[in-house]
Homo-oligomer: A and B are copies of this chain.
Amino acid sequence: MLNAAVRLFNERGYDATSMYDIAVSLGITKSSVYHHIAGKEQLLQMAMDRALDGLFEAAEDVRQQDLPAIERLERLIGRSVLVLAERFEFVTVLLRVRGNTEVEQHALTRRREFDTVVTELVKQAQTEGDVRPDIDPATAARLLLGMVNSLSEWYRPRPGGAAAIATAVSAIAFEGLRL
């Protein structure tokens, strides 16, 4: 049911998806939907949590590794690509919320926390002399995540596709496009 709702959210947008649409896609009526969930916003909440939990899991795994900051950064970026691929529909929902309600604002706060983790890794890698010092760490982090998050707009799940894209992201972000 969450899957059906999230699919519709991504097709038409959260606001443009009615409870009726969700009910029809499940072959039941609108009132039956309310037997299973408390309301529309709960579906949004569950979807966003699923995405955020995946990202913070990756951040925690990487944090525990005893490696230079740039290696941890590269791994976290790679893991983020994989999370985005595995939980594709959920992350897409997350990346679209505007903070209109409290639930959405809480999700935005958690997203910002994740951004901070990446920013700190860039900063540390800079201190360790592995990252070019002429770039603002916060800007670099946002551009990196921008690259990763853009997947939600064009990635279509294919077997093995995620790994290939993770490689491409790593190559461009850390070695550059130019030969």
A residues sitting closer than 8 Å to B (CB atoms) are: 11-13, 15-16, 70, 96, 98, 100, 122, 129-132, 134-136, 139-140, 142-151, 153-154, 164-165, 168-169, 171-179
Select from chain B the residue with minimum beta-carbon distance to A101: B16
- Give how many copies assemble into the complex: 2
Q: Which residues of B contact A98 (CB under 8 A)?
A: 11-13, 16
Q: Which residues of B contact A142 (CB under 8 A)?
A: 150, 153-154
- Bound complex: CA A111 to CA B80 (Å): 26
Task: Output the least CB separation between A124 and chain B (Å).
Answer: 13
Q: Which residues of B contact A135 (CB under 8 A)?
A: 168, 171-172, 177
B171 touches A177 (CB 8 A): no
